[in-house]
Amino acid sequence: MVKENLEQVRENIKKACEKVGRDVSEITLISVSKTKPVPMLQEAYDAGSRDFGENKVQEIMDKYPVLPQDIRWHMIGHLQRNKVKYIVNKVFLIHSVDSLRLAEEISSQAEKKQVEVDVLVEVNIAQEESKFGTSREEAISLVEEIAKLPHVHVKGLMTIAPFVENPEDNRKYFRQIKELSVDIMKKNIDNVSMGVLSMGMTGDYMVAVEEGATMVRVGTGIFGERNYNI
Ligand SMILES: *Cc1c(COP(=O)(O)O)cnc(C)c1O
C-alpha cells in the first residue's frame, strides 16, 4: 500500500510541476512517518524514499539506528532546547527553528559534536494561535540573528498552513511565504540561503508545489491515517 501511495503522490507532484512549468527534480518529497512503525518506513525506503520527517526527538532516536544509514532525517516538529543534543548529529535538516534561543542551543551542541547544522526558520504565516513559528514581521530579524551563529546555517523557510477542506484556501499563504523568502534572499545576508521552501502536506501539497515549494511533507497520503491512541 505504501508503495502505491508513494507512486500516486509522486505522480501528483509531477502533474503540479507540469501545470506551472517546474522541473520535478526541484521538489523533495518528505515521507512523514511519525507514529508509524519501522516496517512501514522500510517499505517506503524500498520504494525509493530517502527523506523521512518526524516530529518527536524520541522517535528519531528509536528509528535512526534500525533503518538504513543513507536516510535523511528531517525534524519537522516543535523542538525543545533540552532535547537538541540528542539529534543534532542525526538530522539532515531541522525545519522548526522559531527562536534565537533554540538556534543558539543548536549551534552550541553542533560545536560540541563537531557538526554543522542546516535549519529552516518556521513562520506562522496565517498567525494561528495554536501554531509555533515566528511572525512574518519578525522573520527577517530572526534570520539575521541566526546568521551570526557559527554552526547553524539557514537554508530557507518552513510553514504549516491552516487545516482547510479546500486546498485553494491556502494558496494565498503559500504565496506570502514565497514572497517573504524572496525578500530575505534579496538582502544577501551572509551565511543565509533561501533555496528551501518547506510547505504543503497531504491536503494541499499540489497547491504548494504550484506556488514554489521545494520540500513537501506528506504523511497521511503515504502511510494512511495516524492513530495516536496506541
Ligand atoms: C504531521 C505533519 C505533516 C504531515 O501531515 P499529513 O497531513 O499527514 O500529510 C507535515 N508537516 C508537519 C510539521 C507535521 O507535523
Asked whether 178 lines ligand 1 (CB < 6 A), one says no
Q: Distance between CA atoms of 74 and 120, rounded to whole angstroms?
A: 11
End-to-end CA distance of the chain: 21
Q: Distance between CA atoms of 213 and 165, rounded to whole angstroms?
A: 20
Residues 6+ apart with CB under 8 A from 166: none
CA of residue 31 to ligand 1 center, whole Å: 9
Domain boundaries, the chain: 2-222
Q: What is the model's pTM?
A: 0.97
**102 φ, ψ to 5°?**
-65, -45
List pLDDT tens digits, range 127-141.
999 899 999 999 999
List pLDDT tens digits, range 130-189.
899 999 999 999 999 999 999 999 999 999 999 999 999 999 999 999 999 999 999 999
Atom number in ligand 1 closest to CA 96: 13
Atom number in ligand 1 closest to CA 202: 9
Distance of alpha carbon 112 from its chain centroid, rounded? 25
Give the DSSP letter of residue 89: T
Instruction: Tell me which amino acid residue 70 is.
Output: D
Which of 34, 163, 217 is the best mutation target for the ligand 1 pocket, counting ligand atoms within 8 Å of the beta carbon and taking the most? 217
For the chain, the average pLDDT equals 97
CATH of domain 2-222: 3.20.20.10
Atom number in ligand 1 closest to CA 221: 9
